[in-house]
A and B are shown apart, each in its own frame.
Chain A
């Protein structure tokens, strides 16, 4: 009886070690590739927002993290600074909105140093396919309507969907998603305006907390 139990226990332990070992090996082998893929995907978004020829610094090395309620509650977000000849040109920051229809909408927002929007892209979202997913560039041109916009407090009412008197179109059947994106972009611009001088002076610190 005892011998059966210990034999089974030994066998189970052996299988656990082999299985975990296999996963660990695959993890080690794929980790650099996954990181490279993530960087590539990020750089693709970055260069859509801030043209590669407008800056000359190593934009990945400039990455640092910030935390502010305007960029999504309790989330730390990455910021990338684009510089040309040591002068700040633009930055790209990530922001999250939970005001959409389902879950988080993660955005990448490019802002020139004068506060004008370079553009906005959706990094990921879980909005309803066919309705809310028009925020993706491959489904609709809607997200391009942010290009070159900037925020002034006196013009706050314009940061709304057009049926509420704002500048931006709503989708047929989906108002919640575009409003969530509009508010997230507006908040990001307010955050930028408040912290502009510190942001361009920040030391890079991405990867240090890992």
Chain B
């Protein structure tokens, strides 16, 4: 009798420990160690394609998918891959995953594929992916690795979408312009027009605007962190 109570107690303990691990992973990926605004990895696609929410969302989904899949696969094979050849194996896995995603997007979201163009294959060079594979997935269980990929991907996506939304509003006064290329024709009505302009605010539409807004987002995050420390 007392044995079984103790067993449940340890089970509860390990469960709460598990929950703590997941909580920590989520906290790291979404805020404390956010790949977009803290680790500053993958700046090239981050700054280049975030001129509209639609583009940002498309790249976010693709990156998220690659990150979760590569983390899971790397973690799955970690026991069989000797230390010496781990990097080439990771690179092969990531490269083939990205190629598959590219082909699938070309087949099923054709117009979005046209507008994201070169940046899909560039996911291969996104340092977040190989970074997480090497630093986390190769040392942890599949469940944790997949969750880490999900959280890191969501953190990156949040920054992408925030940046895309602010640039789209500033540049052309709309939100979700061209969303039907991602979701299909039914989504045409989702486009929100906030104000009409004849000329676009070019600075926000071009890469320099991306750098400036990115800087402001990082500043805002640091400000919030400081406030929290003070309290």
Interface residues in chain A, defined as those with a beta carbon under 8 Å from any beta carbon in chain B? 4, 7-8, 11-12, 15-16, 19-20, 22-23, 26-27, 30, 33-34, 37-38, 40-41, 124, 128-131, 138, 172-173
Minimum distance in angstroms from A139 CB to a CB of chain B = 9
Contacts of A40 in B (CB 8 A): 110
Query: Contacting B93 at CB < 8 Å: which of A19, A172, A173?
Result: A19
Contacts of B51 in A (CB 8 A): 129
Q: Contacts A16-B92, A22-B100, A128-B206; is A11 near B106 (CB within 8 Å)?
A: no
Q: Determine whether B30 belongs to the interface, using a CB cutoff of 8 Å to chain A.
A: no
Grouping DSSP codes into helix (H, G, I), strand (E, B) and loop, the A interface class, with mixed when no group exceeds half, is helix
Contact status A130-B205, CB under 8 Å: yes
Query: Contacting B110 at CB < 8 Å: which of A20, A38, A130, A173?
Result: A38
Contact status A129-B206, CB under 8 Å: yes
CA distance A130 to B203 in the complex (A): 10
Contact status A34-B103, CB under 8 Å: yes
Query: Contacting B171 at CB < 8 Å: which of A7, A11, A27, A130?
Result: A130
27 contacts between A and B (CB under 8 A): A7-B82, A11-B82, A11-B85, A11-B89, A12-B88, A15-B89, A15-B92, A19-B93, A19-B95, A22-B96, A22-B100, A23-B99, A26-B103, A27-B103, A30-B106, A30-B107, A34-B107, A37-B107, A41-B111, A129-B200, A129-B205, A129-B206, A130-B172, A130-B202, A130-B205, A130-B206, A131-B200
Q: Contacts A8-B82, A11-B85, A12-B89; is A26 near B104 (CB within 8 Å)?
A: yes
Contact status A19-B96, CB under 8 Å: yes
Interface core residue of A4, A27, A30, A138 (most chain B CB under 10 Å): A30
**Chain A: CB-nearest residue to B100:** A26
Minimum distance in angstroms from B49 CB to a CB of chain A = 11
CA distance A93 to B158 in the complex (A): 43
Q: Contacts A128-B206, A130-B200, A131-B202; is A30 near B82 (CB within 8 Å)?
A: no
Interface residues in chain B, defined as those with a beta carbon under 8 Å from any beta carbon in chain A? 51, 80-82, 84-85, 88-89, 92-93, 95-96, 99-100, 103-104, 106-108, 110-111, 114, 171-172, 178, 199-202, 205-206
| A-B CB pair tally, cutoff 8 Å | 70
Minimum distance in angstroms from B3 CB to a CB of chain A = 45
**Chain A: CB-nearest residue to B106:** A34
CA distance A90 to B205 in the complex (A): 39
Contacts of B80 in A (CB 8 A): 11
Contacts of A128 in B (CB 8 A): 202, 206
Minimum distance in angstroms from A204 CB to a CB of chain B = 24
CA distance A172 to B104 in the complex (A): 39
Query: Contacting B100 at CB < 8 Å: which of A23, A33, A34?
Result: A23
CA distance A98 to B210 in the complex (A): 27
CA distance A38 to B114 in the complex (A): 11
Contacts of B202 in A (CB 8 A): 128, 130-131, 173
**Chain B: CB-nearest residue to A36:** B107
Minimum distance in angstroms from A175 CB to a CB of chain B = 15
Contacts of B200 in A (CB 8 A): 129-131
Top 7 A-B residue pairs of the complex, sorted by shortest distance between their CB atoms:
A130-B200, A33-B107, A19-B96, A37-B110, A30-B107, A130-B205, A26-B100
Contact status B206-A20, CB under 8 Å: no
Contacts of A20 in B (CB 8 A): 96
Contacts of B111 in A (CB 8 A): 41
Contacts of B95 in A (CB 8 A): 19
Contact status A8-B85, CB under 8 Å: yes
Given A15-B92, A16-B92, 11 extra CB contacts under 8 A: A8-B85, A19-B93, A19-B95, A26-B99, A30-B104, A38-B110, A41-B110, A41-B111, A128-B202, A130-B202, A172-B199
